[in-house]
Amino acid sequence: MFGVQATARKTIVAVIAALAGVLWLGGVGCRCRAPSARPTFPTLFHAVSSNGADGTIAPITINNEVREALAATPGAVVAWPFARLRAGCSLSFGHGIYSADMGNLMPIHFTVYLRDISGKLSLLYSKSTGDDRRWIDREVSLSPFVGKSGTLIFRITCDADPAGPGQPAGVIPVWSNARIVAPADGSPADRPSFLWITVDTLRADHLGCYGCARPTTPFIDSLAAQGVVYEAAFSQAPWTQPSVQSMMSSQYPRPAEAKYNPNEGLNRFLDIRHSHLLPMEFENAGYTVAAFTNIESVYAPFSYSKLGFSRSFQNSTGTENFRDWLGANGGKPFFAYVHLFGAHAPYSFVPGISTQFIDQETAKATENATENLSSGFLRKQQPGPEVTANLVRLYDGRILLNDQVVKYLVETLAAHGALDRTFIVITADHGEEFWEHGHWEHGHSYYDELLHVPLILVPPGKNPGKRIAGMTSLLNVAPTLLNYAGLPVPDDYRGRPLQFREEDDADPVIYAENMLYGQVAEGGADRPRDFGLRTNDLKYANLGNAIQVFDLKADPGERNNLAAVPEWKEKAEKALQEFLQTDYETVAQRQANFLFQSSSPKKWTLKFASDRDVIPIFPDDGFDNAPAITAAKGRTECNFTTDKGKPLVVKVILYKGLKLLSAQIRAQGKPLPAGQLVLPGGQAAVSPAALLKNLAAPEAFRTLRGAPPVPAATDNVTIWIDSSVKRIPTAPKASDEETRRKILRSLGYL
């Protein structure tokens, strides 16, 4: 089966139009590093995205496999600068041909060249293909070019016009997964693999190992007996998209920008340019990475490629795809994410499985009685206790079905000799409500039945079962896996590695946000719009149109809202403010703006030296001369030209914690004079070098914030900083936490 996800069709049409002729993407120099380092742009597509060319990239499905692909018309050239290849590097990439028509295709030629800085052109790869409708993957050694810098050139040509007479409709040649691969440290035998299984819509209290009386999860229960069961694990959102992206990024949903607009559908995932997504961390370390799901289509924008997966399989045979993929992996260490939707509504009757909880005749009558289930009618109108109980039985039958799928996945690991070296995670993105609080399904509240999810961690080998009673957040899973693999945990992760010990793994506060349904009021600058905060003692929820406060000790079922009781409202507000000031610090996402203008064509250079690569963002339209950008080891240089009467605005994101060591603006090869620097409010000119070096400092924001200053008519550079308040949580550093624990132990408190 071939197809392009529905929302990608318009994008691809635009892609073809945009790529007519020659496309030269002035990319960012990507260097090879050891796995312990994290390149800013590990793939061609991240470099393309950094230059505002997101429209050229779309999820493409060929032969049931979805990849984030760069579409190109024949004749198009895509260039990727690189810097200083180290020994052992290779170029890994894939290509394919999408066609909406099953007719015969003319031969299409895929070619890759390497041009060094002297201009010498070397052919790395060439293949002609037509009717081969599959992804073709190749890896080419770059050993002859060790220590060199240059440009990789990806070119597509064909013998005839793909839109000409007699040719199939909608022919799109694409590149996928192009990356420079550095040799991995250590042997594969020394590195564990990871299988992360998320069962959609699985509330914790419907598993046997969490106290369910029905035999819904016999196999998962057997795994739990060998692993670590977190009895009070909680999700960061009550619906799928923000929850999954929080798990993959170890970030709270609000900074991740998962929002719902009923007029636009589900909004985009995380911006892959600015996040250390877990799949990318593993892939950068040499792991084989892929995502699988057992449903044909979840949401049109629910593209796993946006979560950092270079390969994903999204169809009803997702588990079989996992088997085939694992068999082809050849024993290499892997990270596989499997998302199972079997427990999601509608809870269809499964012969031979659901019959353990409900007979087929009753199931049919229940389905007839709830025919408006998918329309959302029952979210507010309960159908009656008997029908509700039968719906729960159908739901439990679907959970049992998922249990069998989990068993199949684990048996597949064993059949390929991978079980003894694979770390298994079983969790859920959110739970489900069955009118415990007047609603059905999920996404509309922060009650425990929606946020309390299972979390079972099963490290490789024989392990005695262990149970952790304290609260823990799903934000902790990603750093736990990286830590177990011996890989560095990114500084911007909000979770922390779990230690499988009660005294170390408890989170004092659980925080969730971003509802899918319901009236959500806009919050002010010092408060999120909607949230659910939970401690061991209380629940505090802002639903936008309602405030809820519950005493969880006396009222674990969250029935008695104490928001009108001053003592409890004050206690809840205090807990919220303490959390916001410590773990969820309010900062501004600041952006420096540079307006370059000249009275005649002028060459400019913008340079930064910092603790990380600073990648300026150039406009994606109205800019005829593409900038030349190189970035390596925290040193970034951009060279570009402005024309007479054509101002150019370049933006630089000032991330929290950014340390600028130096910065410079040069015009025609000479440092910019202070007199050509324009600041907000008519401020006196200062040294450009001194100003730029302190651009990320708080005093620079105070000096440069506000509306853009009115530029002078002569040649100059205008600088200002703007910001939008976002909440960026701050995780405590491990060293600080360890120090506090040592002090408390010495005093006898731990």
What DSSP string describes 138-204? EEEE-GGGTT--EEEEEEEEESS-TTSTTSPTT-EEEEEEEEEEPPPSS-GGGS-EEEEEEETT--G
pLDDT category of residue 730 using cuts at 50, 70 and 90:
very low
Q: What is the pLDDT of residue 77?
A: 78
> Which is more confidently placed, 676 or 588?
676
CB 56 within 8 A of CB 50: no
Task: Give the mean model confidence (pLDDT) for residues 120-137.
Answer: 86
pLDDT above 60: residue 726: no
User: Closest by alpha carbon to 174, among 11, 343, 344?
Assistant: 11
Instruction: Render pLDDT for 500-513 as a digit per residue (tens, 0 to 9).
Output: 988 888 899 999 98
Q: How far apart are CA 424 and CA 404, in angstroms?
A: 16
What DSSP string describes 259-284? -EETTTEE-----TTS---HHHHHHH
Task: Give the mean model confidence (pLDDT) for residues 391-416.
Answer: 94
Tell me whether strands 670-671 and 660-667 are parallel, antiparallel or unpaired.
antiparallel
Q: How far apart are CA 471 and CA 460, in angstroms?
A: 24
The mean predicted confidence, pLDDT, of the chain is 76
User: Closest by alpha carbon to 667, among 603, 746, 618?
Assistant: 603
Task: Give the mean model confidence (pLDDT) for residues 546-561.
Answer: 94
Separation of CA 239 from chain center? 16
| Least trusted range by pLDDT, from 65-69, 280-284, 373-377, 693-697 | 373-377
pLDDT above 50: residue 51: no
pLDDT above 90: residue 620: no
Share above pLDDT 70 across residues of the chain, in percent, rounded to a whole number: 71
User: Which residue do the tokens 């206790």 mark?
Assistant: 385
CB 82 within 8 A of CB 39: no
Task: Give the mean model confidence (pLDDT) for residues 34-62.
Answer: 50
Dihedral through CA 628, CA 632, CA 635, CA 637, nearest 10? -10
Crossing angle of the two packed helices 385-415 and 318-328, in degrees rounded to 10:
20
pLDDT category of residue 425 using cuts at 50, 70 and 90:
very high
> Which is more confidently placed, 97 or 185?
97
Q: 90-94, 99-103, 424-428, 438-442: which has the highest mean pLDDT?
A: 424-428
How many residues make up the chain in this entry? 750
Q: How many CA atoms lie within 13 A of 4 on its CB side?
A: 25
pLDDT category of residue 580 using cuts at 50, 70 and 90:
confident
Q: What is the pLDDT of residue 253?
A: 79
Q: What is the pLDDT of residue 310?
A: 80
E strand or H helix at 738: helix 734-746
CB 590 within 8 A of CB 703: no
> Which is more confidently placed, 277 or 374?
277
pLDDT above 60: residue 744: no
Q: 309-323, 369-383, 608-622, 736-750: which has the highest mean pLDDT?
A: 309-323
According to DSSP, residue 685 is labeled P
Q: What is the pLDDT of residue 545?
A: 73
Q: What is the pLDDT of residue 420?
A: 93
pLDDT category of residue 742 using cuts at 50, 70 and 90:
very low
Q: What is the pLDDT of residue 409?
A: 95
| Least trusted range by pLDDT, from 230-244, 583-597, 648-662 | 583-597
SS (H, E, C) 526-556: CCCCCEEEECCCEEEEECCCCEEEEECCCCC
pLDDT above 80: residue 26: no
Share above pLDDT 90 across residues of the chain, in percent, rounded to a whole number: 29
Q: 369-378, 399-408, 529-538: which has the highest mean pLDDT?
A: 399-408
Task: Give the mean model confidence (pLDDT) for residues 574-602.
Answer: 75
- Say whether 289 sits in a helix, a strand or coil: strand
Please enumerate in sequence order all residues whose Cβ is within 8 A of that of 226, keeping only pairs 6 or more positions apart, or say none. 458, 462, 463, 464, 465
CB 63 within 8 A of CB 321: no
pLDDT above 50: residue 406: yes
pLDDT above 90: residue 88: no
Q: How far apart are CA 238 and CA 428, in angstroms?
A: 11
Q: What is the pLDDT of residue 469?
A: 95
- In sequence order, what E strands does 301-421 have? 312-314, 334-340
CATH superfamily of 3-181: NPCBM/NEW2 domain (2.60.120.1060)
pLDDT above 90: residue 336: yes
Question: Hey, CA dihedral for 410, 414, 417, 423, is it positive or negative?
Answer: positive
Q: How far apart are CA 484 and CA 499, in angstroms?
A: 10
Q: How far apart are CA 565 and CA 582, in angstroms?
A: 26
pLDDT above 80: residue 516: no
Q: What is the pLDDT of residue 626?
A: 66
pLDDT above 90: residue 117: no
CB 236 within 8 A of CB 475: yes
Q: What is the pLDDT of residue 102?
A: 56
Q: What is the pLDDT of residue 302?
A: 52
Can you list the alpha helix ranges (DSSP code H) found in 43-125? Answer: 44-50
pLDDT above 50: residue 27: no
pLDDT above 90: residue 452: yes
Q: What is the pLDDT of residue 13?
A: 34
Q: What is the pLDDT of residue 466?
A: 92
Q: What is the pLDDT of residue 656?
A: 59
Q: How far apart are CA 640 and CA 607, in angstroms?
A: 12
**Vertex 363, ends 362 and 366: CA angle to 5°?**
85
Dihedral through CA 340, CA 341, CA 342, CA 346, nearest 10? 180
Instruction: Render pLDDT for 166-179 as a digit per residue (tens, 0 to 9).
Output: 555 567 888 888 88
pLDDT category of residue 418 using cuts at 50, 70 and 90:
very high
Task: Give the mean model confidence (pLDDT) for residues 262-269.
Answer: 38
Q: What is the pLDDT of residue 743?
A: 41
Q: How far apart are CA 271 and CA 735, in angstroms?
A: 29
Delimit the domains of the chain by residue range: 3-181, 194-348+392-490, 519-585+728-750, 587-725
CB 453 within 8 A of CB 203: yes
pLDDT category of residue 685 using cuts at 50, 70 and 90:
low
> Which is more confidently placed, 606 or 645?
606
> Which is more confidently placed, 96 or 165?
96
> Which is more confidently placed, 503 or 399?
399
Domain 194-348+392-490 has CATH 3.40.50.300: no
Counting Cβ atoms within 10 Å, is residue 736 exposed (0-12), middle (13-18) or buried (19+)?
Answer: exposed
